[in-house]
Amino acid sequence: MNSSDMPLDIGTYLAGVLISILYGADICMYITSLHLLQKNPQAERLWIGFYTSFGGILLLMLTVQLFTTQYLACTLYLKGTRNLAESAYSDQAALNSWSDVLETVATIIANWMGDGLMRQRANCDTAVSFVTLVEKALTSNTILTGVGNVFNIAWAASTVAFNVSVSSMICWRLLSTYWILRDSVPGHRDVRKKYTGMVSLIVEGTIPFAILAVMSFILELYDNQLSITIIARDIWCSVCVFSQQLIILRISMGTAWTRDTVIELTESQVGRRFDEVFEAQIAKENDV
């Protein structure tokens, strides 16, 4: 390890701190979402149960990841203090341990759940080829030794392609709707801001998650520092859960896209056209 490289135990500790911050925010959003869903008289019990279970499982996966990250940090610190000569062995053994495999499994489950929600929100059919990307994702880097890290790289390759494509489709759909509403319903600025504003674009399109996915995958392939790779991977999973909790929060607040959204926008457009026809009829009668 070069003198300029970040020690692995410090990198793992920093990852745990960042995960803990996002973990606290996720818990607050989850509780708020449950409260709003329970108070909403129009919310169906089926969807309340679904989003309650969905958000709870996401929090469980993030809890597992936080626990394994802290376990890895403690293991590296204790072994490093006992015998500094064994630090290289400790780094390699820790990254191939049961905790790393468990963390990878929890991350994959959380990411697949997030991808499923993104697919449902995008309302499009998208397939991800997992097996065909395995060979292309693997490199000769020493970081990728171990079952957990091999599956981590394969998962990263497949999910990056999915995240970028679905986020692009969602953002394009929101922008197209914004342009249509701007031309057809110019007076309803609050409606456009509510459903197609910048906040809606970032949350519904999960733009931070897609950007971080690309950055994390690049670091997985080309960065030789284990600490930087671990930070990027752990933050990726945390942002995945954070993005999905934001979507659930918007759904509970009634500001997310639903089947009723199209009806609301259509009624606004029809009402505006009716007013135009009515005003034109009055003007015609006055001329006569």
Per-residue pLDDT reduced to its tens digit, 65-95: 888 888 877 777 776 644 443 444 444 555 5
239 within some domain:
yes
Is 157 part of any domain?
yes
Q: How many domains does the chain have?
A: 1
- Predicted pLDDT of residue 187: 61
Lowest mean pLDDT, pick from 50-59, 82-91, 107-116: 82-91
Give the count of beta carbons closer than 10 Å to the beta carbon of residue 38: 12
Is residue 187 domain-resident? yes
What average pLDDT does this structure show over 89-115?
Answer: 69
Q: 89 versus 98: which is more confidently predicted?
A: 98
Q: Is residue 278 part of a domain?
A: no
How many other C-beta atoms can be found within 10 angstroms of the C-beta atom of residue 78?
11
Contact by Cβ (8 Å): 10, 227: yes
* pTM (2 d.p.): 0.68
CA distance 116 to 126: 10
pLDDT for 31: 93
Instruction: Please name the residues in contact with 122: beta carbons below 8 A apart, sequence gap of 6 or more.
Output: 166, 169, 170, 173
Structure tokens at 23: 């973990």
Residue 204 belongs to domain spanning: 8-253+261-272
pLDDT per residue over 186-223, tens digit each? Answer: 666 666 676 677 777 777 767 777 777 777 777 766 65
Q: Express each pLDDT in 143-195 by its tens digit.
A: 445 555 566 667 667 767 777 777 777 778 777 777 777 776 666 666 667 66
Q: Which residues contact 217 (CB under 8 A, 6 or more apart)?
A: 156, 157, 160
Distance (Å, whole) CA 175 – CA 183: 13
Residue 285 located in a structural domain: no
